[in-house]
Amino acid sequence: MEFNHELEMKLRNALKAKNEDSFYFITKPETSKEIWNITAAALTAIEYKYPEKRQEIFTFLDKYSEPLTFETKPEYELDNQLIKEFSEELDSILKDVK
pLDDT tens for residues 9-65?
777 777 776 666 555 555 667 888 888 888 998 899 889 888 999 999 999 999 999
pLDDT tens for residues 65-76?
999 998 888 888
pLDDT of residue 2: 80
Q: 83 near 68, Cβ under 8 Å? A: no
pLDDT of residue 25: 56
DSSP string, 41-69: HHHHHHHHH-GGGHHHHHHHHHHHHHHHH
pLDDT tens for residues 83-97?
999 999 999 999 988
pLDDT of residue 92: 94
CA distances from 47 to 30, 58, 74, 75, 94 (A): 25, 9, 28, 26, 11
Whole-angstrom distance, CA of residue 69 vs CA of residue 82: 13
pLDDT of residue 27: 60
Strand segments (E) across the chain: none
pLDDT of residue 43: 92
